[in-house]
Amino acid sequence: MPVVNIDWVSGQSAEKRAEVAKRVNAAVSEVTGIPPQMIWVVFKEVSNDAWFVGDKSVKQIQSGGA
């Protein structure tokens, strides 16, 4: 069974999580032929002050400090 891990900045809505999971699941199923109910999608949420792009945190970037 495939497991797809998605790391993203916390604060996303349950609706967004569900839509991403649905689309990822469909894509993996389509390409591999594995039934959707056998595919796991796991979300790990990281706070915006713990995720960095270069030397700036996402929190800094979101606040215009990029």
Query: Domains, the chain, ranges and CATH?
Result: 3-62 (3.30.429.10)
Reported as a single tens digit per residue, the pLDDT across 19-53 is 999 999 999 999 999 999 999 999 999 999 999 99
Detail the DSSP E strand segments found in 1-66.
Answer: 3-9, 40-46, 52-53, 56-57
Q: CB-hemisphere CA count at 13 Å for 5?
A: 4
Of 44, 50, 52, residue with least CA distance to 17 = 44
pTM metric for this prediction = 0.83
What single-letter amino acid sits at 43?
F
Reported as a single tens digit per residue, the pLDDT across 49-66 is 999 999 999 999 999 876
Bridge pairing between strands 52-53 and 3-9 = unpaired
